[in-house]
Chains A and B, each alone.
Chain A
Amino acid sequence: MAPAAGSLRSLDLRRGAPLGFLFGALGAALIFGLVQLANDPALFFQTFMKSLGLGSVYALIALGFVLIFKATQTINFAQGALAATGALFVAFLVQERSVFTGDAIQADRYGHIPFTNLRNPLNAMGGPDWLYWVLSVAIALVFAAAVGLVVERLAIRPMVGEPLFSVAVITLGLEIMFRVFNNDAVVIDFRPVHAPWGLEGFTVGGELINWSFIAAMVTAAAAFVAVYFFYRSRLGIAMRAVAFDQEAAMAQGINVGRVFAIAWAAGAVLAAIGGIFATQPPVDQTLSVDQETANIAFRALPAVILGGLDSVTGALLGGLLVGVAEIYAGQYAAANTSWLGAGYPLIVPYVVMLIGLLVRPYGFFGTPEIQRV
């Protein structure tokens, strides 16, 4: 009996081929990695920390996707623009005290947040620069949450009960709108976000490891723990109930609109945190918001899909896996494969996603029966 079943399974090319491919690729990567580890341990360690740093940024962005998806069952394609907007808030809040670089204030049209008269109330504050920066980021996150609330109220709430596909396309429109607004009306190019740790770091065996890698990892871990416990709180349970059956949740007296609003606010805050890290190594060396920053969401998208869209654990592990794949491809493979062109590590996440989806179509931690857009 058993051999028949076994041989049948091995004939099932649908599963067998991608699985074999996956294990083959993993095995090759492992051997290759071991060789490199023996070859230059310090470089290998630096690459490892860098990849975890990038993976953490992806995980932060992915958590935002998951939070909004779990409440509203839609992928929020505007996540990237929200990330850039959040980082922009930080840039405008800290610009009058360009503390960490010592540069003069950039020639600038604004000394305040554009289209408002809001200046950073902390400008006159004494105390250490890092405290000023951290508090400014906190204020920026409040603004980011407000943007999330407004977007939800104006563009998403009226669509409750409409086909999910329409809502997803609306978020895509929002992304474009925000990008255009940021690029043209606010003029986004190279606005410094700064960071207490700047571009500095510590060296291990002569190789620099940026503090921003560590900061990203710590933040991602904290965000993961916070979201994990949030889903076990009163409000979090209500959010999952709404996601599962809106009408039944309404019949229990849960205010669906408020739950949506909270999900969007939290999603926008996570996007903003991701956006701040998207201006720092390993994503970007400029410490500034620019037109590239909004692309971080699309770079992180494979992590979300791979993790399964509705799983917090999936977002974290998916982010790390994709980050590792991208950085290692850039560090070791790119030099030997110049015939593929220079920038191709950027698409490695998508290749990983493709292979992952062939093996598990609903992601590694996703719920199979959930209807997707």
Chain B
Amino acid sequence: MLEVANLEVVYNDVVLVLRGLSIDVPDGSIVALLGCNGAGKTTTVRAVTGLLDVHEGDITKGAVNWNGADISDFKPSRIVESGITQVMEGRRIFAELTVEENLNAGGFTVRDRSQNAEAHQRVMELFPLLKSRRRSTAGYLSGGEQQMLAIGRALMTDPQLLILDEPSLGLAPMLIEQIRDIIVDINKQGTSVLLIEQNAVMALSIAHYGYVMESGKVVMDGEPKKLLADEDIQEFYLGLHAEGERKSFRDVKHYKRRKRWLS
């Protein structure tokens, strides 16, 4: 179980990005973390996976607890070995390597050969498409295939918790649905998932629990049903009117609804 408690992160000793963020990801569940650009979603991922150092960021307060141990000062490689792997925003596959080599690089931390082969088998079953393109250079795959490769690469470490940072970014609606179904499948096989998204419809349709972030804090949390019923969420994340219709741009141009969670 991942528990992020009261986390505060500062970049370059000046820019305060997370101001007391707290989220829980229970074992075996899908948790959605919603928020618009600049809310601090990716920073949260970096804090959990130990990549803050690369970006001159520091945890100044709070703790990241994973299965009871504080991992906030672990190296990235140690965090991966302890069972947390992320799929980075924008896919970040190794474009010059082949699909197979990408997967092998992904399984770097797994020294046991049979375990590695098992993880490979699992990825091939989840993504039959990758099987046929094993020898091709990863950079020449389509966007959807690249996203699948990125997820497959992360699964090669056989994680207990998979963090997906905006997997729907830049994909067609049909592909988003595919990715969504795959996330559900992965979760059914026993991996907990922390799903970072701007696409609230997609995230909340499969999550067991959801958090909404704004400027470095959780401003709302609850079951997806509760979140979807909330007027503010409907307004700002689903673009729905109070009566449930879509608004035209003309109507909203000079209109700003006050977010009630800020009051």
B65 on interface, CB distance cutoff 8 Å = no
- A252, B97: Cβ atoms under 8 Å? no
- B80, A252: Cβ atoms under 8 Å? yes
Partner of A237, one of B54, B80, B105: B105
- A253, B109: Cβ atoms under 8 Å? yes
- B101, A237: Cβ atoms under 8 Å? yes
B104 on interface, CB distance cutoff 8 Å = yes
- B92, A248: Cβ atoms under 8 Å? yes
- B51, A250: Cβ atoms under 8 Å? yes
Q: Tell me what chain A mostly uses at the interface: helix, strand, loop, or mixed.
A: helix
B95 on interface, CB distance cutoff 8 Å = yes
- A252, B81: Cβ atoms under 8 Å? no
- A250, B77: Cβ atoms under 8 Å? yes
Stretch at the interface among A31-39, A46-54, A239-247, A283-291: A239-247
B42-85 Cβ-contact flags toward A at 8 Å (1 or 0): 00000001010010000000000000000000011101110001
Size bracket, chain B contacts? 20 to 34
B108 on interface, CB distance cutoff 8 Å = yes
- A255, B77: Cβ atoms under 8 Å? yes
- A251, B105: Cβ atoms under 8 Å? no
- B101, A367: Cβ atoms under 8 Å? no
Partner of B101, one of A240, A245, A255: A240
Distance in angstroms between the alpha carbons of A245 and B86 in the assembled complex: 15
Distance in angstroms between the alpha carbons of A367 and B94 in the assembled complex: 14
- A241, B76: Cβ atoms under 8 Å? no
A354 on interface, CB distance cutoff 8 Å = no
Known: A252-B153, A253-B85. A237 touches B97 (CB 8 A): yes
Known: A240-B97, A241-B105. A254 touches B54 (CB 8 A): no
- Which residues of chain B are within 8 angstroms of A367 by Cβ–Cβ distance? 96
- A249, B96: Cβ atoms under 8 Å? no
B88 on interface, CB distance cutoff 8 Å = yes
Distance in angstroms between the alpha carbons of A251 and B165 in the assembled complex: 12
A109 on interface, CB distance cutoff 8 Å = no
- Which residues of chain B are within 8 angstroms of A254 by Cβ–Cβ distance? 77, 105, 108-109
Partner of A248, one of B88, B96, B101, B109: B88
